[in-house]
Amino acid sequence: MKEEDSVHREHAHMNDADDGSGMEHMEHEAGHEGHASHDMQMAGNHEHAHGSEAMEEHAEHGHMKHEHGGHSHAEHHRMMMEDFKRRFIVSSILTIPILLLSPLIQNFFGFELTFPGDHYVLFGLSAVVYFYGGWPFLKGMGDELRKRNPGMMTLIALAITVAFFYSVAVTFGIPGKTFYWELATLIDIMLIGHYIEMRSVLGASRALEELIKLMPTEAHLVTPEGVKDVPVSELKKGDVVLVKPGEKIPSDGLIVEGETSVNEAMLTGESKPVYKKPDDAVIGGSINLEGAIKVRIEKTGKDTYLMQVVELVRQAQETRSKTQDLANRAAFYLTLIAITAGSITLGTWLYLGKPFVFALERMVTVMVITCPHALGLAVPLVVSVSTSISAEKGILIRNREAFERAKDVEVVVFDKTGTLTEGRFEVTDVIPLDELSEEEILKYAAALESHSSHPIAQGVVEKARELGLKPYEVDESKVLPGKGVQGFINGREVLVVSPGFLKENGLWKEDERVNRVLEQGKTVVFLVVDGKLTGAMALADRIRPESREAVKRLHEMGIKAYMLTGDNAKVAKWVAEELGLDGFFAEVLPHQKSEKVKELQEQGYTVAMVGDGINDAPALIQADVGIAIGAGTDVAIESADIILVKNDPRDVITAIHLARATYRKMVQNLAWATGYNSFAIPLAAGVLYSYGILLSPALGALLMSMSTVIVAINAKFLKV
């Protein structure tokens, strides 16, 4: 938020009630709604490059490289998914003869298929399935054990290894029965389960990959010798590029020539083309729809809007969630429980006199069904979907822990200028003081102010334009330093001046309506025609229409809304009353803002602070959840936990709703994963054996995979 002092322009419109002091003004660029997606880290120990190095390399060259070591992160992910698919196809084809040659299957279906050496063929086929189909799990176990963090891969590898080598021992002479068909079906189920999971996770990566691909690779650089095509990587700040209709804008910049409509839908979510003219900002990656334009490059590489979005999403990926840490710890302990439970199961059934083959089968089944895969995916999948949804809605999560705290927010403290208000003056009251109507007052005032760029002058002209009024022609005009402006219209002397001018020249007269707007802290200017006071205009920082809805919805959620501003108390009181706020802090210096947030926290509230990330930085950091509204400032990125890339306070509500929905999904998934295991372990161990109920390793694997798929589907149903 920018605080401006009371100096207006060369002719100042002053409010004598408070000398205009504290009246905030901000030339605040509209934020841009980001669209990105969270590139999910796979559960299990399938490690892949995070892609950050590729992003950094892109940033250095001004565009995103689509390759990193020959393949992008998502491409690497797809290759792994296809690898699981290939292994599943080969293993499942080999499983068919394994099933046909297995005595148990033959007995069950009432057929016989035997020939000399059939058990060796069965061994050979199973060995291929074990080493080829089971390789990802065997390798994963090695990775986990090297890190001293046994988990899901260790469980699967241990189960198939015990089953395979025991069966090999039986094949070559030890009494017992083989587990080849159980081994093969277990591997098949695990492979297809992983394939399904990876495919669902990959969907979260694609949006970010598509966003990255938005950046063009070439630009038409305007040089003294003419226009020449150069790689985007060679563009520098200050370069001017030509962008033809239908082409993508190569990097962030300002239009210096031409006008057009730009499609920013993929970047901002704004479906309607945005009209752009000279001095308007354009975003790299957006599409020029109509006229040819020349753009002066303002940002390249890491500084561009698109790359800031990518970087924020990457940071969100790397931020560990407390809930996720809880899930990971639970998965580790569940691994220990599985190994312990498997050992106890084996020992118990042997103690009860059951054959080793039976006891071994129970142990294998326990170790398979206890696999914490669903638990390991419970939180990451929700985080993936949540981050995708948030980015699509223009909510970039920089700090995952703070985002989780957002579900508990009880008080939201808003900065005023640029957050609840637009940071530009609006005529709120037109007060006739003589025979002129409101329309005539505006036409005279707008005529004099039409050549000024001052915010107050622009507010008057904008009001006349909104009402469809055509200002009069001004014959001549001049500035009255520190007082206002004077001109002649249709032969009449017209002045737009401050209250001080009226008092100095004996033109001031008391009026209840004028006193009321002065008491509200509004800036008031007066129209004098031929030496006669004819009207007054009150101006105030325009309140965003969205602010009223935001405050109303917060109240419906049981959350209090406060305002924090450096503006004077009268203005703050008026804005607070207009919006129905629960309270406000006025005339607060930047370093005092964090103290006000701390006061609310000391009262026991969980506080979210919403500001534009400049003077609000200390308060954003002090708050339980710091939310920066409006993208593009380094301070916002550094100090806030959540970035709202649109200047829309309603997105605060969306962020809180999303935090609550995300937490609910995490709890649901954790409950399902742990509840499933607490039910499955005793069943796999054989507690219902006396009732004739036993789970084979293959059925245990099927149930476990179903659990994982249910967790994945539940995460996908996250909605806001």
Ranges assigned E (strand) in 433-530: 476-480, 484-489, 492-497, 523-529
- Cα separation, 429 vs 577, in Å, equals 17
CA angle, corner 551, sides to 545 and 554, nearest 5?
A: 140
Q: Half-sphere exposure (CA, 13 Å, Cβ side) for 686?
A: 23
Tokens, residue 258 = 């031409």
The stretches of 214-321 forming alpha helices (DSSP H) are: 265-268, 305-318
The catalytic residue among 415, 541, 567, 651 is: 415
Residue 525 has φ and ψ, to the nearest 5°, of -120, 155
> Would you call 104 helix, strand, or coil by DSSP?
helix
143 included as an active-site residue: no
Taking CA atoms, 654 is separated from 172, 413, 551, 595, 648, in Å, by 65, 16, 13, 27, 10
367's tokens: 């170790």
Q: By three-state DSSP, how is residue 66 classified?
A: coil
How far does CA 563 lie from the centroid of its chain?
25
DSSP result, 314-345? HHHHHSPPHHHHHHHHHHHHHHHHHHHHHHHH
User: Strand order of the sheet with strand 260-263?
Assistant: 274-276, 260-263, 287-288
379, 398, 395: which is closest to 321 by C-alpha? 379
Report the C-alpha dihedral over residues 380, 386, 391, 395, rounded to 10 degrees: -120
Contact 398, 641 (CB under 8 A): yes
**C-beta of residue 205 within 8 angstroms of C-beta of residue 73:** yes
Residues annotated as catalytic (active site), given as ranges: 415
